[in-house]
Amino acid sequence: MNIGIPVERQPNEYRVGLTPKGVALLTQAGHRCYVQRGAGVGAGFEDAAYERAGARIAYAAEEVYSRADLVLKVGPPTLEEMVFVRDGQTICAFWHLLARPREMTHILLERRATAVAYELIQEENGHLPVLRPLSEIAGRMAPQIAARWLQNDGGGSGILLGGLAGVPPTNVAILGAGIVGMNAARTFLGLGARVYVLDKDLSRLQLIDEQYRGQIVTMVSHDFNVARVCTFARVLVGAVLEPGARAPVLVTREMVRSMRPRSVILDISIDQGGCVETSRPTTHDDPVYVEENVIHYCVPNMPGVVARTATHAYLNAAWPYIQQIANTGIREAIEANPALMRGVVVHDGRVTNKNLALLLEEA
C-alpha cells in the first residue's frame, strides 16, 4: 500500500502522522511511504531519518495525497488541503468533525473517502485507546498553563497555585473525572493546590476519594454544585467528554460572571465544542481572551506543542490500527476490528457516525 505523511497545516501543530520507526516497520513489510519534506521537524524528526527508514521525500502536499492510498495525519486536513483528497482514499486523523465546517464532511462524501477518527476508536469496554495518551498529556499540561495565566504578567490575579506557609493554596475545580480530569487533578494536587473534582458518576467519585484518601474534594456535578464552585475557584478546568457527541455546556455565562476577577478557565473540551458557554477556540499563538473579567484558555490542540512526547504517545496506541489497515485494506480491517469500525465516521459515500449524521440533518 502507498502511505502518505503530509505536513500538518493547523496553527501551531508540531506533531506528525508517523515517526521514522513507523516508516521503517511499514517499508520492511513491503509498503511505500511518502513523507512531505519537513513533516517531522517540529517533533524532532529530520527528513534524513525518514529516508534512512525507507521513505521517499515528497516536496508538496499535493504529491503526497496524489500517491497515497492511506494518509496518516494528526489534525484533519484544512479546507485548502481537502481539494487534494482522492476518490476512495483513507485518512486517519483526530477529525472531531462535529466541531469542523460541514463542508469537510461533504467533500469526504463526494470523494467516497474514508475518515478514521482516532478519537472515536473505541474498545468493547468503552476505552478510547488512541485518544487516551493525548488526554493524559492535556491533563498534565493544565496546571502549568493555569499557573502561567494566574501570574500578574499573564493578566491573572498574581496567585501561586500551591500557596505557602501562612497563605492558603489556590482552589481548583475540575469538571469531569475522566482521563483528562484525573491527570489534571493529580498534577494540581502535586503542586499543592486545593482540588475539587465534579462528575455525574458517583462510583468514579468514590474511587477518587478512596485513592486520594480525601485529599481531593469530590462533588456530584449537579447544576447547583457547578454554580457553587464557580464562586470560589480561581481555576476552572472543563474536562467533559461524551465520545462522538458535542460536549454538554455545564457552565453558563452567569456562572462565569460569578467567578472572581482574573480567574482562569481552561476549557479542554473545546475540541468538541466546549463545556463553558463563553468558550471559543483559540490558538497557541493567541491562547487566551478575557470574557466577563475571566481569562479563558481554549486551545483545541494543547499537546501539539509537546510534539515529540505527544507523537510517540499517540502512535504507540494507534500503531496496531495503522498496521492492520496497511496490511489488509480499510474494508477488511473494519470488518475484522470492531474497535476500528467505531472510529470510522465517513466511509464509501456514507456518514457512519450517528451523531454526525444527526448534525448534518439539522443543518
Q: Which residues are catalytic?
A: 96, 271
The DSSP letter of residue 270 is G
* DSSP per-residue letters across 50-112: HHHTT-EEESSHHHHHHH-SEEE-SSPPPTTGGGGPPTT-EEEE---GGGS-HHHHHHHHHTT
| 47 touches 57 (CB < 8 A) | yes
Long-range contacts of 346-353 (CB under 8 A, 24+ apart): 346/97, 346/105, 346/108, 346/109, 346/113, 346/114, 346/115, 347/114, 347/115, 348/112, 348/114, 349/109, 349/112, 350/109, 351/105, 351/109, 353/97, 353/117, 353/120, 353/244
Residues in CB range of 165: below 8 A, 6 or more apart: none
The DSSP letter of residue 48 is H
